A = this chain, B = another copy of it.
Amino acid sequence: MVITKSVVFVCDKEEYSGVKKIAGKVCLDVERITDGLPNVVPEALEGPGEKVFFATLEQSPLAQKLADDEGLTTELGKIKGKRECYIFAVRADKIIIIGSDKRGTIYGLFHLSELMGVSPLVDWCGVLPAKRESVKIEEGVTVSREPSVRFRGFFINDEWPAYGNFTTHNFGGFNAKMYEHVFELLLRLKGNYLWPAMWSAQFSLDGPGLANAELADEMGVIMGASHHEPCCRNGEEYRYVRGPGSIYGDAWNFWKNRDGITKFWEDGLKRNGKFENVITVGMRGEADTAIMQNATLADNINLLRDVLKTQNRLIRENVNQDLDKVPRMLALYKEVEPYFYGDKHTKGLMDDPELEGVTLMLCDDNHGNLRTVPTEHMRSHKGGYGMYYHFDYHGWPYSYEWLNTNYLPKAREQMSAAYEFGIKDLWIVNVGDILTNEFPLSYFLNLAYDYEKYNSDTKAYSDAWFAAQFPYFTAEQVKEVSDIVYESNKITGMCRTEALKPDTFHPINFGESDYIISRAKSLIERTKELRKAVPAEQDAGFFSQVYLPVVGTMNVELMQLYSGKNRWFAKHNALVANIYADKVRECCRFDKALVDECDKVGNGRFYGMAWSEHFGFNSWCEAGNSYPVYSYVEPTRKGRAVFWPDGLDITTTGQDWTVREGVLDAFKNPECNEACIKMACCNEGGLELKTSCDAPWISFTVEEDLEKLTDDGKSGLDTIRIKLDRQKLAAASEKTTVLTIEGNDGHGARILVKVHIDAKEPEVLKQVQNDSAVVHNTFIQTTYYISMEAPHFVRSSGFNLLPGYGKTLGAVKACDITKTFAANDDNAPFVEYAFALDPDFVQKTGGVMAFDFYLNPSNPAYKDNKLQFVAEVNGERILKDAVDSEKFAVGDNQFPWGTDIPNNIRISTVYADCHAGLNTIKLRPVTPNIVLEKIVIHEANKPMPASFLGAPETFRLS
């Protein structure tokens, strides 16, 4: 069937008004493509021309008739009684959409839009389809599956200053004019559930009046309220109705003001009970604080039980006598969690009759890592479980509210774990101001809608998603835009831009900062280049989904990393610090300009949306934010330069009183034939330095301003590039040498730097070359440590590879996500790595090595608070607690959680004795949630140089 502007949309008069409204939106989609607006015609069954029939089984007689007429009765049987299912049948000149219920038909209608190449974001942020005369829809019949998760939605939160200013400016408030767009977005993404903004807004009063709630109900959106807003009333509401003479009393306190609070809830249920809701039950203190402070656990549990009993009674009286028909939700959040579990003296609310049928909502740690999940025993709870996840957060240890910094592999790993642990009844995600979070939000809702389909490679998902957003792009451009966004999310996934400090990525060690700077610069350039290919009318969509999030976050990366360079060079009084200072300032100015641009793009449709503060937080709240300072240094009076081996923060100025001897062992790695010494000048006018080395197998060049920091190439940051000729080396008897840099300070003192170069082949490499036990991926020691990326194991059992996961190459995780294994279980899954240690090194150090396991900062799965694995070194098993179960806690001012989160890693170190030559290390999970990204092996008593990503991978046999 071919859709043109003359297509007619047909339903009968009984059809839900909300469904007809959605049909109208699909007609608008046709117009967006063809420039002609089709009609929605009630009951115009006959007549010529292409038609789209739509009908809701539980509401519209047309549904049965269409099934009978079109031979879809078998299909009708498949959706009958199911939630949110639809039949989508395409014939030569008609399309028949039959929904099992209101949202079934709506999803069917929007399925048509998708088939027409219309993005679910079309209305929300102007991601427009390509213009065409007509769209061909392939013939065939589809029956949709019941969604994997029952309630699937998002939470508009932390809405000041961005969303609040946006909607005030563009819509005049948090009203139905605005919410209609949000509902449409939700439904197009096949969500069904929404928590509205509630910092200052009152959903059921701001419509104006009930208009928001009525519109939601009409359009088939199930409303919830956040975890601390029971009985369909927003937290802010009480503030307006309380008072000395109020019928609601003047205290948000069920103990002191039982009657007032009960009345307040009752009136909420009377007002909103007629709509589709998931009613929040339970109670917290005002403004998201603990309900009753300075009371015993038992007192609190009893109070909460009393609250629940009262609320259940009110719901029976005012909503439905059959509580099983009323979706209810209790959040096990913050202090409510211990009330649920109780302790050994006091029984908690688990298995309490008042909670029967109530969905228990669990949550992540606000930073994307699940907290406790249901044990096997708990999974049978009637009412099931929900998950409150965060793509945006306002709180400790840092807030992230600006642009999308979420990385799909992490979201997939965590939400699939949630699903496997039986959390299938309710998924809600905090998306802050929504804008720029649409990409991860789409994935979240897709996964919730069809878990089996979307629990798969997220890069492929990204490719498909961006193809769907930008149909006017060529295949190459689509690949490019997906690569760009995915990579920028990878980078922000290492450390969210809000948590980024100037020294997060080390300015020198392992070239970390250089590596991220070059990627960020390239991403910005490529995004700017792509934008040029975007048609003018499509710019707003591209801006919101690609340009703003990529260029915005990558500019912050540059700003902070340039600031780190600025500080490091300033500490050494190197003049190049001043060039970096200028660069920091440029980034600050660009950041402001970008925020201003966002106010204007698409005729101001995103006005205010980029106003959240987004870096330099001195505190978790935006009050403490500031741009990085940029610091200038004064040239030294005397000639001076600072020298260091590229990638290692060990400097010398070569002056008297300082250590002037360096060591370069890079050439021991058989794949390395080039290494650099860097030098930065501290005085104006440079220095006359003489570099010399008499080994015939070494040559070197001195390169000015390799990083092209200045137009004239005179940044004062120079590179001595040392090249190794392996042929000459092989012929030489002496395989060590000294490179000398000499000069003077022009004030009577000499400058002298000596670099000892060791290019001897590692002994161990010779040994293992003839060892048949040595296989592909065996790491060979060539320097004082070995670094292994998790995917480079030699053997594994029951382990999945998570490509791209985490901070570096990827991760591995046991396939059986939910299982706990005994430490001595030989059949437990394992992943094994091989490494060979140099005999000299082992003799010198004694061979006791530290194994730094780089783990995702997961939280323990259960209340026992255990996160354990076994490290098996050469067959010896060491049981390791990745967290101290006695002390570990998630929450404000809790450490080490509070540092693991911005670090986005938990380094768990195991010490074991190793021998010269081949060794093996196996990781065996004990508890769930062990996700391994990297292992760094080094001398037990010699800590590794500071770095955020850990040392880059060292030499391995290919």
Contacts and interface: CB of A to CB of B under 8 A. Distances in A.
A589 B634 CA distance: 8
A98 interface: no
Contacts of A165: 747-748
Contacts of A168: 748
A621 interface: yes
A595 interface: yes
Contact of A161 (B631, B658, B748): B748
Chain B CB within 10 Å, residue with most, of A164, A627, A655: A627
Given A626-B573, A748-B165, A592 B658 contact: no
A15 interface: no
A653 interface: yes
A623 B658 contact: yes
A366 B658 CA distance: 21
Contacts of A577: 629
B588 A634 contact: yes
A163 to B, nearest CB: 11
B623 A633 contact: no
Given A161-B748, A621-B657, A623-B656, A631 B631 contact: yes
Interface in A625-668: 626-627, 629-634, 636-638, 653, 655-658
Nearest to A656: B623
A164 B745 CA distance: 14
Contacts of A573: 626-627
Contacts of A622: 655, 657
Given A747-B161, A748-B165, A631 B630 contact: yes
A638 B630 CA distance: 20
A275 interface: no
A160 interface: yes
A682 B629 CA distance: 13
Contact of A626 (B623, B636, B657): B636
Contact of A581 (B589, B632, B637): B632
Nearest to A616: B573
A585 B635 CA distance: 11
A632 B629 contact: yes
A497 B618 CA distance: 31
A187 interface: no
Interface string A554-595: 000000000000000011110001000100010011001001
Identical copies of this chain, number: 2
Interface in A163-179: 164-165, 168
Given A630-B632, A748-B164, A749-B161, A655 B623 contact: yes
Contacts of A161: 638, 747-749
A622 B748 CA distance: 14
Contacts of A595: 637
Contacts of A588: 634
A130 to B, nearest CB: 37
A611 interface: yes
Interface string A597-631: 00000000000000100000011011110110111
Nearest to A745: B161
Given A629-B631, A629-B633, A633-B627, A658 B621 contact: yes
Contacts of A747: 161, 165, 611
Contacts of A632: 581, 585, 629-632
Nearest to A624: B658
A493 B748 CA distance: 31
Contacts of A572: 626
Contacts of A630: 631-632, 634
A633 B168 CA distance: 31
Nearest to A682: B626
A637 B165 CA distance: 15
A6 B610 CA distance: 91
A531 to B, nearest CB: 23
Nearest to A653: B623
Given A629-B577, A658-B623, A592 B637 contact: yes
A682 to B, nearest CB: 8
Contacts of A638: 161, 611
A748 B173 CA distance: 13
Interface of A: 160-161, 164-165, 168, 570-573, 577, 581, 585, 588-589, 592, 595, 611, 618-619, 621-624, 626-627, 629-634, 636-638, 653, 655-658, 682, 747-749
17 contacts: A160-B748, A161-B748, A165-B747, A168-B748, A571-B618, A588-B634, A611-B638, A619-B658, A621-B656, A621-B657, A621-B658, A622-B657, A623-B653, A626-B636, A626-B682, A627-B634, A631-B632
The 6 closest A-B pairs by CB, nearest first: A573-B626, A621-B657, A627-B634, A629-B631, A623-B655, A588-B634
Given A573-B626, A577-B629, 14 more contacts: A161-B749, A164-B748, A165-B748, A570-B629, A581-B632, A585-B634, A592-B637, A621-B656, A626-B634, A629-B632, A629-B633, A630-B631, A630-B634, A632-B632
